[in-house]
C-alpha cells in the first residue's frame, strides 16, 4: 500500500503509478472495455453498446473510497467495480448496461488487469536493469585495473580489482535480464475462464471471444484459464527476488567499502545526503540501505506467494487474496532498489590511493601466496608453503614488511632475486584474470543488449 513517508525512498514513482489505486482500476476497466469489443466482434454484443461501455471505462470516473468500502463486503475489487460500471453506463445508455462483463467472472477482470499492470511493470524493470547494466559495464571497464584488496570471511585476501567486483554484479544482472526475456511470453497471457473456468456461459462463442479478447489486449491466449494455477506470477516474482538479492549484494559491498576503516568506494555525495541528526561528520550509505532493505524484505513476500500456490479447486479462498498486495509490493521494492543502484553506480566515488594503502595494511602478507606459488616450483609445494608460513609469522611478530623478511631469508634469496621479489609483492602484478573477467562480462552484456 502507498505510504507517503517512505514511498520516495523505497519505490520508484513510475512503479508506484502502475500499482496505484487508479492503475489497478484501469487494468480491470481495460479488460471490460476489450471484452465488450471482443463480444461485439463475435456477435454477442451489439456494436451500439460498445461505445457506451468504453466511455465508462475510465478510472477517474469512480470513487476509490466508496469502492474500497464495498470491497470489505464483496470480497474482491471487481464485484463493486462492475456494479459501479453498470450504473454509470445505465445513466447514459441504459440498454448497454446488460452487456457489461458478459460471461466473465471477477477473477478474470482482476487477473487480466493485473497482467496488464505487470506488462508495464516488466517494461520499467527491464529498462532500469538495462540502464544499470550499461553503467556498470562502463565503470567496470574504467576500473578494470584498479587494484583493491580481496576479502574472504571479511579478512584481507589476495588482490582483486574494482572492475572485477563490478563485473560480478553486471554478470548477475545480465542473467536476470535473460530470465525476464524468457518468462515474458509465459507471464503476459489472458485470464478468461468465466465462473469455473469452462466459459460455458458463452457457448460456441467462447473461443472466438477469448481469441478476440487476447488480441484486443495484445496478450497471448494460454492453453486454458489459470484461475488457481499461479506459477506464472510466482515465476516472475521469483526472478524479481533474484534481482533484489543481486542488488542487495551490490549494496552490501558498497556499504562495507564505505566503512571508515576501508574508505575505498563511496556513494555520490549531495547536500543533506547520508547525514546524521546528531553527528555532523557522518556520511551514511543511504542508497545501499535501500538495496539491502529490499533484499531483506522481498524473500518474505516471495514466500507468501509460494505459500499461496496450493489453491483450492477452481477458485481460491484466501490464498488468492494473499497475492493482491504482495506481488505489487515486490515490484515496488525492486523498482526502488534499481533506482538507488543506478545513482550509486553512476556517481560512485573511488579512492584508488586508499585502496593501495589498504592493500599494504598487512605489510605484504596478502601477496604471500604469489611468492609461495613460485617457490613451490623450485622447492616443492609443502616446503615452500611451510617456509612462507614461517616468514609470515616472523613478519607479524617483528612488525616488518614481508618483503624485508623474505629478503633476509637465505632459502628464499637463493631462489628469488630482489627484482623477482619486488615484482611478486606488487599487487598490480597479481591480478590474475581480473581484466579477462571484466571483458567477458561486458561482452555478455553487449550481446544481450544488441
Round to whole Å and give the CA distance between 187 and 107: 16
Round to whole Å and give the CA distance between 399 and 173: 43
By the 8 A CB rule, do 371 and 424 touch? Answer: yes
Round to whole Å and give the CA distance between 35 and 204: 16
- Distance between first and last Cα of the chain: 37
Per annotation, catalytic residue among 175, 297, 315, 400: 315
Residue 145, CB half-sphere, CA atoms under 13 Å: how many? 2
Q: What is the DSSP track for 7-75?
A: HHHHS-HHHHHHTSHHHHHHHHHHHHHHHHHHHHHTTSS-HHHHHHHHHH--GGGS-HHHHHHHHHHHS
**Helix-strand-coil split of the chain, %, nearest 5:** 70, 5, 25
For residue 146, what are the CA distances in angstroms to 150, 282, 336, 438?
Answer: 12, 26, 29, 12
Query: Residue 24 is placed in which grid cell?
Result: 489497478
Q: Count of CB atoms within 10 A of residue 6's CB?
A: 10
Please list the residues that pair with 220 across neighbouring strands. Answer: 189
Q: What are the φ and ψ backbone dihedral angles of 130, each rounded to 5 degrees?
A: -65, -40
**Number of continuous H segments (helices) and E segments (strands) in the chain:** 19, 4
Round to whole Å and give the CA distance between 416 and 191: 73
Closest CA to 415 of 370, 376, 369: 376
Closest CA to 115 of 218, 11, 1: 218
Q: Is 315 a catalytic residue?
A: yes
Per annotation, catalytic residue among 2, 276, 303, 413: 276
Q: Which residues are catalytic?
A: 276, 315
Amino acid at each position: 500500500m502507498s505510504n507517503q513517508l517512505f514511498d520516495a525512498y523505497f519505490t520508484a514513482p513510475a512503479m508506484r503509478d502502475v500499482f496505484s489505486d487508479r492503475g489497478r482500476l484501469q487494468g480491470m476497466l481495460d479488460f471490460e472495455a476489450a471484452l465488450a469489443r471482443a463480444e461485439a466482434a463475435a456477435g454477442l454484443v451489439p456494436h451500439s453498446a460498445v461505445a457506451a461501455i468504453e466511455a465508462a471505462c475510465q478510472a477517474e470516473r469512480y470513487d476509490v473510497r466508496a469502492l474500497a468500502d464495498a470491497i470489505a463486503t464483496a470480497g474482491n475489487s471487481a464485484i463493486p467495480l462492475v456494479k459501479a460500471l453498470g450504473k454509470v453506463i445505465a445513466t447514459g445508455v441504459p440498454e448497454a448496461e446488460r452487456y457489461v462483463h458478459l460471461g466473465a467472472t471477477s477473477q478474470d477482470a482482476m487477473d487480466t488487469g493485473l497482467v496488464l499492470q505487470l506488462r508495464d511493470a516488466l517494461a520499467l524493470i527491464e529498462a532500469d536493469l538495462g540502464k544499470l547494466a550499461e553503467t556498470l559495464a562502463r565503470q567496470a571497464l574504467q576500473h578494470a585495473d584498479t587494484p583493491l584488496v580481496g576479502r574472504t570471511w571479511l579478512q584481507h585476501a589476495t588482490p582483486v580489482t574494482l572492475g572485477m567486483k563490478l563485473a560480478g554484479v553486471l554478470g548477475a544482472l545480465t542473467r536476470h535480464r535473460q530470465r525476464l526475456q524468457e518468462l515474458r511470453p509465459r507471464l503476459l497471457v489472458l485470464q478468461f475462464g468465466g465462473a469455473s473456468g469452462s466459459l460455458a456461459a458463452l457457448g460456441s462463442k467462447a473461443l472466438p471471444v477469448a481469441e478476440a479478447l487476447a488480441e484486443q489486449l495484445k496478450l497471448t491466449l494460454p492453453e486454458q484459464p489459470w484461475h488457481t494455477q499461479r506459477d506464472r506470477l510466482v515465476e516472475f516474482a521469483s526472478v524479481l527476488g533474484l534481482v533484489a538479492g543481486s542488488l542487495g549484494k551490490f549494496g552490501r559491498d558498497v556499504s562495507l567499502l564505505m566503512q571508515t576503516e576501508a574508505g575505498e568506494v563511496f556513494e555520490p555525495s549531495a547536500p543533506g545526503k547520508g547525514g546524521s541528526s546528531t553527528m555532523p561528520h557522518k556520511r551514511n550509505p543511504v542508497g545501499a540501505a535501500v538495496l539491502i532493505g529490499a533484499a531483506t524484505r522481498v524473500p518474505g513476500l516471495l514466500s507468501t506467494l509460494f505459500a499461496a500456490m496450493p489453491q483450492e479447486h477452481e477458485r481460491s479462498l484466501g490464498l488468492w487474496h494473499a497475492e493482491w498486495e504482495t506481488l505489487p509490493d515486490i515490484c515496488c521494492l525492486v523498482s526502488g532498489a534499481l533506482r538507488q543502484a543506478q545513482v550509486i553506480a553512476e556517481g560512485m566515488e573511488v579512492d584508488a590511493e586508499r585502496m593501495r594503502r589498504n592493500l599494504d595494511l598487512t605489510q605484504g602478507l596478502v601477496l604471500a601466496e604469489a611468492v609461495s606459488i613460485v617457490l613451490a616450483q623450485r622447492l616443492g609445494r609443502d616446503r615452500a608453503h611451510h617456509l612462507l608460513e614461517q616468514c609470515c609469522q616472523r613478519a607479524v611478530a617483528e612488525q616488518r614488511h614481508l618483503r624485508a623478511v623474505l629478503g633476509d631469508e637465505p632459502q628464499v634469496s637463493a631462489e628469488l632475486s630482489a627484482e623477482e621479489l619486488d615484482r611478486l609483492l606488487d599487487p598490480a602484478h597479481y591480478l590474475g584474470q581480473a581484466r579477462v573477467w571484466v571483458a567477458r562480462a561486458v561482452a555478455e552484456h553487449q550481446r544481450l543488449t544488441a
